[in-house]
Amino acid sequence: MSSTLFQTLLYASLTLCGLGLLWRVSAWFRVRIGPDAQEVTPSQRVATLIRGAASALFGRQLFRFLGAFFLDVLFLRRLYANEKLRWLGHLLIVVGFTVLVLMHALAPVVTAKLFPGYQPTLAPYLFLRDFLGAMVIVGVAMVHYGRWRRRNGFSTTRGPANAAFMVLLTIVLASGFLLEACKIASPRAFYRMTEEYIGSTDPEQLKPLRALWASEFGVAFGDLREPIDPMLVEQGRELHRNACAPCHAQPASAFVSYPVAQALAPVMGFLDRSGADAWLLYLHLFACFIGLASLPFTGFFHVLAAPVGLLLNAAPQNLVLSASNRASQRALALDACVRCGICDVRCSVAPLSRYLGNPGLLPSHKLIATGALANGQLLRTGHEYDALRAADGAFLCTDCGRCTSACPVGLDLEDLWDAERGDLAAAGLARPAQWVQARPAFTWAESLEIDSAKRVISDADVSRVPLSADRSVFSRCVQCQTCTNVCPVVAHSIDSGHGVDLTPQKVMNLLRLGLRDLTLGSRMVWDCASCYQCQESCPEGIRVADIMLELRGLAVQRLGSVRSWRQPS
């Protein structure tokens, strides 16, 4: 490759990468998430952060940041605490890739300066390059296995940009190994070198050297007949010592490329004629440049955002909690999330999410929705149903905080969800308890009956037979009123003069009559405190409280499929 083309491409991709990084980083101060974020201007956010960082960096706080840098950023302490396998995989990728970039990609400016005798074809570099590449491959495999093992049945939140970036990475690694293998096995490369260093390309004259390089360096001469004479090899060694050895070690230590080279031997003649080493090099470099240029535009931007987030966490509380910095941290969270999905696995409402068939309850999906809400994508016309489902997801969160404590990047997700709900409410979206109870129970039942054109979720769509559809669960009810008698919600509502519309035993009776839809919007179902006194006391052992809980879930599903956009609330 001509150095002009190389440099043009290098600088072009560096420029793109730099502009992209600027754009993405500026979003940390531009994007507004949460009602309190609307009050702060981007310049205020930048100023607060700089002031805070300056005061923190030139005080005792510095040690906290250093600690966070080594433990959180380099050692990935939080990931280690949560998932050992993915931690190991991630560490292999980071170490492998970083050292490859320094030792191999930046060889002229780093390795050659540090080790004056550096040649890529000498030990231990032959081995190291393969070793680091293999580390990355094994690491990627481990991370993907870890993800696969924790799959939850919902589509992944990693977008096509990430997939494309993974393909690029694969091309870089594969072309690297193939290029290395070609260079080892190529007779053409052999003759190019002998011409330069010995001044000959004559096969007869080079016979002893050829014998040595064929038997110990893996060059695949098409015209060489087995077996090779050991005497000839020893003769070649002399020439080799003078002409080749200063720059060439035996490539067998390249434990990936060397076997590949041997496998390529039968087709080496063809590969040489087609100029394989050249186009593999182009491929390798192009993929590297495209990867460099596109890095800021994929989820892999987290390599910058996540460490920044982790370092910010080490800042003192007053700095973290200021409204202005909180706004920036939320925007940063959108970028720092690595889409690992550990939060989804830990999520308390993940079972509900599966039950409702709504991935919008899962933290990783909520994070995407939060971003989409902030940039206006979520509320665009034509996608109202998605917005309503996303809102259900946001509002059904129980704020248990398990996502936050599990997040390997240390994101304050609870704060993010709180802000998201504030924005959703400001946009006129309500929590299920509100939108369901905005209409009386019987009008909901009518809507379900009338709205047959719309797709109403039926029990067949639910993963298991609901309790409220299983006659054996409630048919034993003798309407003895024990549930109503012990219900503190009924007692309180009578006490306060706002009686519930149905008592628990009436809900059971409606189920017995096959009128379940009438219960879905009822105040009894929605005001149920889940204290389980009814279920504990029922002489017939009916799971009254479990049914109440399930009816709320069914209401979100079934009524959600017939509700209209922006119901009066």
Partner 1 sequence: MTRAKQDSCDVAIIGAGMAGMAAALFAAERGLSCILVGNGGSLLFASGLLDLLGVHPVAERRRWRLPYDALVALAREEPLHPLARINAVSIRSAFQSFVAALGAAGLRYAPLGERNRNVLTSIGTIKATHGVPISMIAGADLLDALDARPSCLLVDFRGLREFSAAQIAATLGDRWPRLRHQRIEFPGYEAAAELYAAHLARALETGKTRERTIALVKPLLGDARAVGLPAVLGLARAGEVHAAFEAGLGVPVFEIPTMPTSVPGLRLLAALEAAVSARGVRRRHHATVRALAFDGEGGTATLALDGAAGGVRARAVVLATGRFTGRGLTADRRQIRESILGIPVHQPGSREFWHQRDFLDASGHAINRAGLLVDEAWRPLDAGGEPFWPRLYAVGSILAHQDWMREKCGSGLAISTAWAAMQHVARQLRGTAAG
Q: Which residues bind partner 1 (CB under 8 A)?
A: 480-482, 484-486, 490-491, 494-495, 497, 499, 536-541
Helix orientation angle between 160-185 and 276-294, rounded to the nearest 10 degrees: 150
Dist. CA 299–CA 340, nearest whole Å: 11
Q: Check: CB of residue 299 under 8 Å from CB of residue 323.
A: no
CA dihedral 49, 53, 54, 60 (to 10 degrees): 150
SS3 300: helix
Quick count: other Cβ atoms within 10 Å of Cβ 193?
A: 16
Nearer of residues 261 and 487 to partner 1, judged by Cβ:
487
Q: Secondary structure of 181-231 in the HEC alphabet? A: HHHHHCHHHHHHHHHHHCCCCCCCCCHHHHHHHHHHCCCCCCCCCCCCCHH
Dist. CA 348–CA 406, nearest whole Å: 12
Dist. CA 456–CA 174, nearest whole Å: 50
Whether cis (ω within 30° of 0) applies to the bond prior to 246 is no
CB of 481 to partner 1, least distance (A): 7
Q: Which amino acid is at 451?
A: D
Quick count: other Cβ atoms within 10 Å of Cβ 266?
A: 10
Which position has the token pair 């293998």? 181
CB of 149 to partner 1, least distance (A): 17
Nearer of residues 429 and 544 to partner 1, judged by Cβ:
544
CB of 181 to partner 1, least distance (A): 49
Dist. CA 287–CA 170, nearest whole Å: 9
Nearer of residues 253 and 537 to partner 1, judged by Cβ:
537
Nearer of residues 141 and 494 to partner 1, judged by Cβ:
494
Nearer of residues 322 and 537 to partner 1, judged by Cβ:
537
Nearer of residues 144 and 492 to partner 1, judged by Cβ:
492
List all residues 6 or more positions away from 496 whose beta carbon is below 8 Å from its beta carbon.
none
Nearer of residues 352 and 483 to partner 1, judged by Cβ:
483
CB of 500 to partner 1, least distance (A): 11
Nearer of residues 373 and 538 to partner 1, judged by Cβ:
538
CB of 468 to partner 1, least distance (A): 19
Dist. CA 80–CA 83, nearest whole Å: 6
Whether cis (ω within 30° of 0) applies to the bond prior to 42 is no
Nearer of residues 347 and 486 to partner 1, judged by Cβ:
486
Q: Check: CB of residue 33 under 8 Å from CB of residue 413.
A: no
CB of 484 to partner 1, least distance (A): 6
Q: Maximum Cα–Cα distance for the chain, whole Å?
A: 110
CB of 478 to partner 1, least distance (A): 9
CB of 483 to partner 1, least distance (A): 10
Nearer of residues 257 and 482 to partner 1, judged by Cβ:
482
Q: Check: CB of residue 487 under 8 Å from CB of residue 504.
A: yes
CB of 427 to partner 1, least distance (A): 38
CB of 536 to partner 1, least distance (A): 7
